[in-house]
Each structure stands twice: as C-alpha cells, then as structure tokens.
C-alpha cells in the first residue's frame, strides 16, 4: 500500500479504501492522516485511533498559543502562559 496520485494537479493521498473496511474506519484513518499522526497500529486498533484523535484535539484546544479559548480560561482563573515565540 503506497501513496498514489489523487488527480491531475499532483495532489497525493493514501488509498483510504485499502486501509479501511467500513465508512467509520475510513473516516478515522482519514482524520489521522490529516493530523499527521497515523501509525500502523491505527489500522487494526480502532479504539486507539479514536483515542489518539481525541487526545490530539484536546491538546490543541488547551494550547494557549493556538486557542483564544484557552487564553480566556487561563486569564479568567489568574494563570499565566508563555507568549508566542516569533520565528525569524
């Protein structure tokens, strides 16, 4: 199983149908690919796949460097957070 061309403009995609047997599995695998966290174990362990997707989404939602809601919660309860570092 490899990466194959998706269309004429050169986009690549994993052959999702080859990875998954059901629509639910396909959706989980596709999300793992989008998040860049797909591992071979996800193909045979849907519980781990779902757990890893949820864990990643929670981690991002709690990161004050990318979430204004996280900043609001920190400020509401008197916490501090590091300022964003600007890459030059």
87 found inside a domain:
no
65 found inside a domain:
yes
Structural domain boundaries, residue 30: 14-76
Mean pLDDT of 32-58: 94
CA distance 33 to 16: 10
53 found inside a domain:
yes
CA distance 28 to 39: 12
50 found inside a domain:
yes
On the question of pLDDT at 1 being above 60, the answer is no
In terms of DSSP H, where are the helices of the chain? 16-19, 23-34, 46-61, 68-76
28 found inside a domain:
yes
Higher pLDDT, 17 or 44: 44
Task: Specify the DSSP class assigned to residue 7.
Answer: S
- Which range, 5-9, 26-30, 47-51, has the best average confidence (pLDDT)? 47-51
How confident is the prediction for the chain on average, in pLDDT? Answer: 79
7 found inside a domain:
no
49 found inside a domain:
yes
As for how many domains the chain has, the answer is 1
Q: Is residue 74 very low, low, confident or very high in pLDDT (cuts 50, 70, 90)?
A: confident
* pTM of this structure: 0.62
């Amino acid at each position: 199983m490899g990466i194959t061309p998706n269309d004429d403009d050169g986009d690549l995609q994993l052959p999702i149908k080859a990875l998954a047997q059901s629509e639910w599995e396909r959706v989980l695998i596709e999300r793992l690919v989008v998040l860049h966290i797909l591992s071979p174990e996800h193909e045979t362990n849907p519980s781990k796949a779902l757990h890893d997707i949820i864990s990643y989404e929670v981690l991002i939602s709690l990161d004050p460097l990318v979430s204004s809601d996280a900043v609001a919660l920190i400020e509401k309860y008197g916490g501090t957070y590091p300022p964003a570092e600007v890459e030059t």
